[in-house]
Amino acid sequence: MDKMTGKQSILLDRGVYIISSASVVGSKEEEGPLRGKFDLVCEDPMMGQESWELAESTMQKKAAQLALEKAGLLPAQIRYIFAGDLLGQLIATSFGLETLDIPLFGLYGACSTCGEALSLGAMTICGGYGDYVMALTSSHFASAEKQFRFPLGYGNQRPLSATWTVTGSGAFILSKKHGSVRISGITTGKIIDYGIKDSMNMGAAMAPAACQVIVQNFRDFDREPSDYDKIITGDLGYVGQKILIDLVSREGYDIRENHMDCGIEIYDQETQDTHSGGSGCGCSAVTLAAYILPLLARGIWKRVLFLPTGALLSPISFNEGQPVPGIAHGVVLEHVE
Amino acid sequence: MDYINAFWVGGLICALVQILLEKTKLLPGRTMVILVCAGALLGAVGLYEPFQEYAGAGASVPLLGFGNLLWKGVKEAVDKEGFLGIFMGGFQASAVGISAALVLSYLASLVFEPKMKS
């Protein structure tokens, strides 16, 4: 029986399965530690389009199509898409998915969008409101820089604390039909703001939100860190990871052994000059599709807590001197025998 | 000798600003404003002219020199035109530099495309 549990979680007993996933990335991601695991690598960062935004839209469409192919489904069979991206007014999503002709819920969770989309998709399936539902998100380095920092043509230098927005899109199809990985629970995050104003230190801004979701997840499900093979954040990076472990330990839990961060996994810091690590909606999405889900499917990991985090700032809020609030969306993923 | 002076003075200004950028949280835009204001101030107290005579392009090319240029332009225009000179002087003095920057950047944009960083 699916039910609310604790303060922020839902226990999904009846089974929502991830029946297919697809990852589309750019060349930098393919040059990193996860090379060979992605479904499609696009060498051309413009993807044959005239703007970075349209390139990101193209990636979304390709990811959606690949996920559909792998599941043997047609777009018409998908009841809902839950999707979002980093750009203003979600233009990558709107222009990317319009031709799929599928009812769409556009989401903004910044870099936590993957977790948010999977959470809402799971709730929809469990509620009996769709046989097949798609969760999808993307980010593109160049469009994100233009949105949040400076356009590439400006030629600015990036500080060492900055993260590198992943160029990638991940798509996931959820269903009641059996798959090898299921979503067994979700813990939805709240906006947590510790007053961090440094937009170059996103890890510090988002770690408190991740901590809140992790701790609440333990309390809501009556679990310990060791109940999970891995506790995976999206893009806290090296700096954020340290802060998170510290914050969580103050709540009485030690996650040093099993914490993992997609932003750390996706790039090689030494050889790829990516400073603090990877970030963006695509970071957690493609790492989930290419790296985490296969390990869960094979049973190498039995249960993980996947919680990408987002920094809820805009260029305007930052320029007006506002701090950076964070949010995290937790999804419990389990191996199915 | 002129070349050497221009080189090390210009380089020193750049190095000092780089330290400012790395050690403080100052954004590039704000740093540039500081440079222009500092140059105008140094020009107003009469320090920048002798500095520029010594270092040549090393003093006139960096943004510090631009501040001085603005100051000089405004001063000359005020001497000639009175109150209105406050508004005319800065643009007159910097017109060549700004136009050159505009035109040359436009030409560059016709030739070069922004590429993805890697």
Q: Where are the domains of chain B?
A: 2-111
Chain-wide mean pLDDT for chain B?
Answer: 89
Q: Which amino acid is at A316?
A: I
Q: What is the pLDDT of residues A147-181, one digit of tens each?
A: 988 888 787 777 777 789 999 999 999 999 989 99
| Cβ separation A141–B116 shorter than 8 A | yes
Q: What is the pLDDT of residue A153?
A: 79
Give dist(CA A179, CA A162) in Å, integer.
38
Beta bridge partners of A104: A81
| Cβ separation B117–A152 shorter than 8 A | yes
A152 CB neighbours in chain B (<8 A) are 114-117
Q: What is the mean pLDDT of residues B30-50?
A: 91
- The full set of domains in chain A, from first to last, is 14-175 (3.40.47.40), 181-335 (3.40.47.40)
The model's pTM is 0.89
| Cβ separation B115–A156 shorter than 8 A | no
B118 CB neighbours in chain A (<8 A) are 27-28
Nearest to A28 among B25, B115, B118 (CB): B118
| Cβ separation B118–A27 shorter than 8 A | yes
For the purposes of burial, counting CB atoms within 10 Å of the CB of A45, is it exposed (0-12), middle (13-18) or buried (19 or more)? buried
| Cβ separation A141–B117 shorter than 8 A | yes
Check CB contact of B25 with chain A, cutoff 8 Å. yes
For the purposes of burial, counting CB atoms within 10 Å of the CB of B44, is it exposed (0-12), middle (13-18) or buried (19 or more)? middle
Tokens of residue A298, six digits = 């094979």
Q: Helix, strand or coil for residue A102?
A: coil
Distance from B44 to chain A by nearest Cα, in Å?
Answer: 32
A167 CB neighbours in chain B (<8 A) are 116
CB pairs below 8 Å between A and B: how many? 22
Give dist(CA A15, CA A2) in Å, integer.
9
Say if residues A117 and A135 touch (Cβ distance below 8 Å).
yes
B5-36 CB burial, b ≥16 within 10 A, e <16 = ebeebbeebeeebeeeeeeeeeeeeebeebbb
Q: What is the pLDDT of residue A142?
A: 93
Q: What is the mean pLDDT of residues B86-101?
A: 89
DSSP letter, residue B6? H
Q: Which amino acid is at A328?
A: A
Q: What is the pLDDT of residue A176?
A: 93
Tokens of residue A233, six digits = 């954040």
Nearest-Cα residue of chain A relative to residue B114 = A153
Check CB contact of B117 with chain A, cutoff 8 Å. yes
A27 CB neighbours in chain B (<8 A) are 118
Give dist(CA A277, CA A236) in Å, integer.
8
Ranges of chain A with pLDDT below 70: none
Q: Which amino acid is at A104?
A: L
B114 CB neighbours in chain A (<8 A) are 142, 151-153
A151 CB neighbours in chain B (<8 A) are 114
Q: What is the mean pLDDT of residues B41-52?
A: 90
Nearest to A45 among B28, B109, B116 (CB): B116
| Cβ separation B114–A141 shorter than 8 A | no
Say if residues A44 and A67 touch (Cβ distance below 8 Å).
no
Nearest to A151 among B28, B114, B118 (CB): B114
Say if residues A267 and A165 touch (Cβ distance below 8 Å).
no
Residue A62's nearest CA partner among A310, A286, A280, A306 is A286
Nearest-Cα residue of chain B relative to residue A319 = B27
Check CB contact of B29 with chain A, cutoff 8 Å. no
Distance from A235 to chain B by nearest Cα, in Å?
Answer: 19
Say if strands A259-261 and A230-233 run parallel, antiparallel, or are unpaired. parallel
Q: Helix, strand or coil for residue A167?
A: coil
Check CB contact of B23 with chain A, cutoff 8 Å. no
Nearest to B116 among A142, A156, A198 (CB): A142
Model confidence at B25: pLDDT above 80: no
Say if residues A20 and A173 touch (Cβ distance below 8 Å).
yes
Distance from A152 to chain B by nearest Cα, in Å?
Answer: 6
Helix boundaries (H) for A52-172: 52-71, 91-97, 113-126, 141-148
Give dist(CA A96, CA A104) in Å, integer.
12
Q: What is the pLDDT of residue A278?
A: 92
Q: What is the mean pLDDT of residues B93-112?
A: 91
Distance from B47 to chain A by nearest Cα, in Å?
Answer: 32
Interface residue ranges in chain A relative to chain B, Cβ cutoff 8 Å: 26-28, 45-46, 141-142, 145, 151-153, 156, 167, 198
